[in-house]
Structure 1
Amino acid sequence: MADTVFKLNRAGSAALVTIDNGEDHRVPTTLGRSAFESAVAVLEELERGEWSAAVFTGKPFVFCVGADIDEFGRIDDPRDGIRAGHALFARIRALPFPTVAAINGACLGGGLELALHCHARTIASNVRHVGFPEVALSIIPGWGGTQLLPKLVGPEAAARVIVLNPLRQNTLITAPEAVELGIADRLLEPVEFVDESLAFAESLAVEREAPDWSALEDVVRKTRARVDDAVHGATRAPYVALDLIAGARDWTIEEGYAAEEDAMAELLVSAQARAAAYSFTVVERRAKRPPNLPDAKPRTVQKVGIVGAGLMAAQLATLFLRRLEVPVVLRDLDQARVDEALAAIREQVTPFLGSIVDGGTDWTSFEGCDLILEAVYEDLDVKRDVLAQARAVAPDAILATNTSSLSVEGMGADVALHFFNPVAVMPLVEIARTPHTTDEQLATAWDVVKKLKKRGVLVADAPGFVVNRLLTRMTTALMGARLEDADEAILSLGMPMAPSVLREMVGPAVAQHVLETMHGAWPERFPLEAAAGAENRSVEEIRDDAVDAVADEVRHLLAEGVVADPADVDACLILGAGWPLFLGGAVTRSGKIPA
């Protein structure tokens, strides 16, 4: 991979600086040692030359996604990297002519901090990824972001972007939102974007209202409460970031830089930051083709059938419509239920997509389907029956199941596509094959999941696959404990949901059914009743028992070959169960360290 460089070109009397790593948009541009050396050389040219303005932009579809985490993680003293960023960006801020960041694509972390050091910012209307993901990695923006953003947009908007969004599954903002918040000054169309940004820079006149700090104490109080709800004090980074945002009201930029440096230097070498970096790498690897995926050509899916018309079926139909834009047909025993599902789906999609979804009680509508996905009640006989009827009318279709615990082979499905609720939010799909799954069927399943913009993990056809098996094993460790103690024990890990809330969301009957399925396979590890004395444990003991139970079950999963790569277990937990990045996964706790 080529090193990132800053390329300086003259555009009339203005300077155009392009940040480029020589790769296409699939390899985002980051800032490491070579980028800094290149930027220093460009700044020297800018400082000694005569320029009317300077515009900083990125290669096609990418502005800059921040620091090269791997490279900065190898620096002996983290303060060196933090100070280097502060010094470099301060020179951009001090240039004696107008500077504009022309945000033409993904702009994250240190890339956004670079943009904030410019006098103004333009942004292309198609940009969808702007933000500070650092808090999700148990660190903070360390190159001025915690100081410049609140001084620009005020503490409330800054707290949303820096603190709260990373805790909401790393939510990023779009170009229109960036303009609305005041992060960007002009929203421009992608066509002629650079030329219009240059013209804007050469006639720069931006009037901004001073940020409103009057409600700072209220913002801090409310944000801290939301952070408590999200992480329950399990990680320091969001609290540190909030303190720095609050400090920006009274500190000079130099004082803010110093506070950032102290905080970042401590967080960057913490165990949580190292764990989060591992977790991030694990998740990113899941976006790539796994080595154990057959080298077969996937089938083209031009029509999809969904068996069922409940909440999950409606969510699945909506997802397939939006992402694949092919006809989708629902089938259920109850026409009124189908009509209700269709109405809910059509409310969420465009009129065109609403016109290509249909449903009824007749199986003949499934004729011509390339993929049929069942989403009925978690009962093996029921699933076996509906899949048999589906195969009778569409013998060439790939039959998939959304089961969370039952045997894929036993019900007669070709493959499992296990989505997580809510479907629109949860990124994981567990893809399970059976001994009878063909290479084409598995390749098609993977291709469909990718087109749905989900993260697939290949798993074996084993009860509970990965996520439900591990979560169920965790719940067995909670048996006998007081409900409040069990909830506190799990929330203290930073988990997103208390066990009692999860059970209610899943449904007690479904949760019990999954437990009984696990008990049938491994009765000694999945008991139906609490062990003697389990009610006398402290919250700390309950938490330790739960973590130990998960680690033990991971060892069994790996020994059975449920996944090909140990890191797949952690990817499943992070993507499917909301396992916090700063816990570093469960594989390391099991003693099986992934390569």
Structure 2
Amino acid sequence: MSSVQFEKDSDNIVHMILDRKDGSANVMDAAFQADFFEFIQKLEAEDNWDGVIVRSKKKTFFAGGDLTALIQVQPSDAQQFFDEVEALKKAMRKLETMGKPVVACINGAALGGGWEIALSCHHRIALSKGVMLGLPEVTLGLLPGGGGVIRMTRLLGLQGAMPYLLEGKQFKPEKGKELGLIHDIVDTPEEMLEKAKAFIKANPESVQPYDVKGYKVPGGKPSSPALAQMLPIAPAMLRNQTKGVLPAPEAIMCTMVEGLQVDFDTATRIETRYFTTLTTGQISKNMIGTFWFQLNEIKAGRGRPDGFEQKPVKKVGILGAGMMGAGIAYSSAIKGIEVVLKDVSLDNAEKGKAYSETLLNKKVSRGRMSEEKRDGILSLIKPSANAEDLQGCDLIIEAVFEERGLKATVTKEAEAQIAGDAVFASNTSTLPITGLAEASVRPEQFIGLHFFSPVDKMPLVEIICGEKTNDETLARAYDYVQQIAKTPIVVNDSRGFFTSRVFGTFTQEGIAMVGEGVSAVSVENAAFLSGYPVGPLAVMDEVTLTLSAKVRKQTIVDMEAAGESYTAHPADAVADSMLEQDRAGKSTGGGFYDYPEGGKKKLWSGLDQYYKADSQIPLQDIKDRLLYIEAVETARCYEEKVLTSVRDANIGSIMGIGYPVWTGGVLQFINQTGLKTFVTRAQELAEKYGDRFTPPAYLVDMAEKGETFKDS
């Protein structure tokens, strides 16, 4: 056996040792399944044993399912896949119903299939450190297919299991013990084995709680009065979260409810049917490809230049203590980096530091951080109005207003204080890095670091290389982004780069439709039904039309200086009209929405001035206009080499600008639609709604050749 070892010790206890020969982690692949079947057969054939200890020789307990195989399962493979999953689950069921004790010794992460193996054991012991547990399959468009839904629901009850199944919430051993899922927590592997053996000797006959006659599921079955009242509401609440485009949470809920109304074996077959449907579907393939394979490539540094050793940032200087600068300061200090937070006045800088204090105080009040640790983090942030305090910084991040002159001034001021090998980065969201680098005496060490607001919550940082940015600077910027636990994507210079440029098409398209007379309610609802977290009008209220107007004005100036002419967008007239009516956005009291004090926001009744009853268009057209305009613009970014990898486009579009999760990202949306179908639909939209939907010639060429977007 290449993945599982069968050993019997002097205490007559069989050890099921998980140790995949050709990998750093144990995986539920075909080799494991074959070995597991053989292990169970040996147990049945050799009846002279007192119990089983399941343990791992890897740093982790068990990594989960074989996603490389799962992503390849097609609808035509459904029956074979169903049979294979059922066979594995029957073997797991055999392990827990032999009547003898089975103990899981969890030495590291047990997620997905690993936690399902542990759940099939009667007793679970975990190390106190380095262990994470849970069933995160829903985040990849799947459900736990190895009995995880059925066992968790029976052990925790329907409502108790929901966060761990519908949200994929992970937990540590302490929480597991509180839930009754972990029975003991120890400090060493040796102690874990001793405890496991002691349990086996003390419990020669073992059975799962849910197999005991008369066992009652916590909270009751779906037919119980309390659940019977809640269940009719639950699907509507879930649909509000999934927007009808994420099938996995809905399939999980169905499995949970249906599974509690039948016997265990029937319940697991129900689980397998839903699992098979999700696995053979396109949405899980989109999500696995992006959130597993492509995201892991980014984490592994595929976008980082080779040949440069990692050099952690020790001291960062941040220019501007507004929301962005304050957020960057917090994100740096919480990772142990010394911060100089500089603004035009010490008062402003101290207000910026206060932002970190507020966030840290929340952690302390919730018991997630000690006061001592909070004070230590805050001590790393030095508010200042003196440029000389920037001395010793190995990274400077400029986060002042989007004004070219101001940025040039602070660049020169900071560079006069820092060492020759320090990196200078601008947090601009739209201004080309090459142009901003003209104010620098060392443009090779000038780069863009585009953070997203609020910085403490948003996981993405867009790294922008100017024409003269060298590879070492890129490598150091990449390392810093990962040092502060953010996800980096790397793009080349352009007005708006990738994220702001594409995001702008989304908001502009929504506003343009309002200008055409389309109902604002229809526009926002179409975005919601497409899977966007927020509609284009609501997003623009957060950004403010004032900022959008400033960006447009700067764009016009820059294009005229370059001898180019600006082409007005259909959204411009509505934006100007709203500004004339003092409706700039949320921060100014109201924009497309009203924001009543103490109440929920609602669309401004004044939008009726743009509405035309005879200008309504099909819902599908509204949805496609939002999805396709971003996809077409992304394709242009790819053609222009602003984007150089598919993974950066997909991850950036979801983590940075809210492209619907179910698509797997903006270029994967084109792939899964099919390039020929996409091009045809884009051309239809161009004929009906404007040339901006016209697909680039190279995209048409790719479609004719039958190609797709993929990284080499």
Q: TM-score, normalised by structure 1?
A: 0.90
Q: Which amino acid aligns with 2:31?
A: S
Superposed displacement of residue 226, structure 1: 4.2
Quickly say closer, same or farther: Cα 1:45–1:518, change in 2 above 3 A: farther
Q: Which residue of 2 aligns with 1:407?
A: 432
Following TM superposition, by how much is the alpha carbon of 1:386 offset from its aligned partner in structure 2, in angstroms?
1.5
Q: Deviations over 1:107-166 (max 9, x none)?
A: 222222111111122222224532222222222222211211010011112111111x24
Map of 1:232 onto structure 2 = 243
Displacement of 1:370 after TM fit?
0.4
How far is the alpha carbon of 1:505 from its aligned partner? 3.2
Distance apart, 1:52 and its partner CA: 2.7
Aligned with residue 10 of structure 1, among 8, 11, 15: 8
- 5+ residue gaps, structure 2: 210-215, 361-372, 441-445, 560-564, 575-609, 676-698, 700-707
Provide the rounded CA distance (Å) in 2 between the counterparts of 1:362 and 1:435. 31
CA–CA distance in structure 1, aligned partners of residues 242 and 551 of structure 2 = 27
Q: Which residue of 2 aligns with 1:485?
A: 522
Among 445, 454, 458, which residue is 2:490 paired with?
Answer: 458
Q: What is the aligned counterpart of 1:429 among 456, 461, 464? A: 461
The alpha-carbon distance between structure 1 residues 585 and 326, as it changes in their structure 2 partners (threshold 3 A), is closer
1:101 to 99, 104, 110: 104
- Alignment of structure 1 residues 62-461 onto 2, 5 Å: 62-74=60-72, 76=77, 77-127=80-130, 129-163=132-166, 165-166=167-168, 171-190=169-188, 192=190, 194-199=192-197, 201-202=199-200, 203=202, 210-213=217-220, 215-217=226-228, 220=231, 223-280=234-291, 281-290=293-302, 293-323=305-335, 325-346=336-357, 348=360, 350-396=374-420, 397-412=422-437, 414-461=446-493
Residue among 636, 645, 666 paired with 1:565: 645
CA offsets 1:301-321 (integer angstroms, 9 cap, x no match):
221111122222222112212
Question: Greater CA deviation, 32-41 or 450-459?
Answer: 450-459
In 2: Cα distance, 1:112 partner to 1:101 partner: 10
Structure possessing the higher relative contact order (Cα contacts under 8 Å, 6 or more residues apart):
1
1:381–1:206: structure 2 CA closer, same or farther, 3 Å change rule?
farther
* Counterpart for residue 501 of structure 1: 538
Q: Aligned partners of 2:493 and 2:391: how far apart in 1?
A: 28
Give the distance between the partners of 2:52 and 2:36, measured in 1 at CA: 13
Report how far residue 427 of structure 1 moved. 2.3
Contact 2:392 2:419 in 1 (8 A): no
CA deviations 1:543-568 (Å, max 9, x no partner) are 11112211211221011101222332
| Whole-angstrom CA distance in 2 between matches of 1:529 and 1:106 | 52
Task: Tell me, in whole angstroms, the C-alpha distance in 2 between the residues paired with 1:380 and 1:222.
Answer: 53
For residue 399 of structure 1, report the CA deviation from its aligned partner: 0.9
Kindly state the Cα deviation for residue 518 of structure 1 after the two structures are TM-superposed: 6.5
What letter matches 1:504 in structure 2? D
Identity %: 24
Structure 1 residues 452 and 196: CA distance shift in structure 2, 3 A: farther
Q: 1:452 Cα shift?
A: 1.9
Q: CA deviation at 1:223?
A: 4.6
User: Does the C-alpha gap of structure 1 residues 494 and 13 become closer, same or farther in structure 2, counting only changes over 3 Å?
Assistant: same
Q: Is the 8 A contact 1:418 1:430 kept in 2?
A: yes
Letter in 1 for 2:450: H
Change (3 A) 1:52 1:322: farther
Q: Is the 8 A contact 2:259 2:268 kept in 1?
A: no
- Distance apart, 1:36 and its partner CA: 0.7
2:501 — aligned with what? 469
| C-alpha distance 438-34 of structure 1, shift in aligned 2 (>3 A) | same
State the secondary structure of the residue aligned to 2:532: coil
Greater mean deviation of Cα atoms: 521-530 or 455-464:
521-530
Cα displacement string for residues 248-276 of structure 1 (whole angstroms, at most 9, x for unaligned residues) = 33221111012112222222212222222
Please list the CA deviations of residues 198-221 of structure 1 after superposition, one character each: whole Å capped at 9, or x if unmatched: 245323599978512254345545
> Secondary structure of 1:18's partner?
strand
Structure 1 window deviating more from structure 2 (186-195 vs 348-357): it is 186-195
- Is 1:52 aligned to residue 54 of structure 2? no
The answer to whether the Cα contact below 8 Å between 1:432 and 1:461 also exists between their aligned partners in 2 is: yes
| Cα gap change, 1:121 to 1:525, in 2 (>3 Å) | farther
Greater CA drift, 66-75 or 84-93: 66-75
Whole-angstrom CA distance in 2 between matches of 1:42 and 1:382: 70
Output the amino acid matched with 1:36. Q
Asked if the contact 1:329/1:366 (under 8 Å) is kept, the reply is yes
User: In terms of Rg, which structure is larger?
Assistant: 2
| Structure 1 runs (4+) greater than 6 angstroms displaced | 205-209, 518-522, 530-534
Contact 2:71/2:288, CA 8 A, preserved across alignment: no
Which whole-Å CA distance do the structure 2 matches of 1:441 and 1:501 have between them?
Answer: 37
Cα 1:234–1:210 change in 2 (3 A) is closer
Q: Hey, what's the Cα distance between the residues in 2 that align with 1:514 and 1:173?
A: 44
For 2:2 and 2:382, how far apart are their aligned partners in 1?
50
1:373 counterpart SS class: strand
Q: 1:473 to 1:4 in 2, by over 3 A?
A: farther
Structure 2 distance, partners of 1:334, 1:217, is: 61
* SS of 2:467 mapped into structure 1: coil
Q: Equivalent of 1:544, from 607, 624, 627?
A: 624
Name which of structure 1's ranges 252-261 and 94-103 shifts more when overlaid on structure 2. Answer: 94-103
Using the TM superposition, give the Cα deviation of residue 95 of structure 1 relative to its aligned residue in structure 2, in angstroms.
2.9
Change in Cα spacing, 1:227 to 1:384, as seen in structure 2 (3 Å) is: farther
The 8 Å contact of residues 29 and 66 in structure 2, kept in 1 or not, is answered as yes
Deviation at 1:526, TM superposition (A): 5.1
Instruction: For 1:310, give the aligned amino acid.
Output: G
Give the Cα separation in 1 of the matches to 2:554 and 2:357.
36
* Distance change (3 Å), C-alpha of 1:512 and 1:192: farther
Quick one: which of 34, 38, 52 aligns to 2:35? Answer: 38
Tell me if structure 2 keeps the 8 A contact 1:283–1:571. Answer: yes
Q: Which runs of 5 or more structure 1 residues have no equivalent in the other structure?
A: none
- 1 CA distance for matches of 2:150 and 2:327? 41
Once residues 327 and 374 of structure 1 are traced to their aligned partners in structure 2, the CA distance between those partners, rounded to angstroms, is: 16
Aligned Cα RMSD in Å? 2.9
Counterparts in 2 of 1:541 and 1:53: CA distance versus 1, 3 Å: same
SS across alignment from 1:122: strand
Do 2:312 and 2:480's aligned partners in 1 also have CA atoms closer than 8 Å?
Answer: no
Q: Secondary structure, in 3 states, of the residue corresponding to 1:282?
A: helix
Note closer, same or farther for the CA distance 1:128–1:342 as it changes in structure 2 (3 Å cut): farther
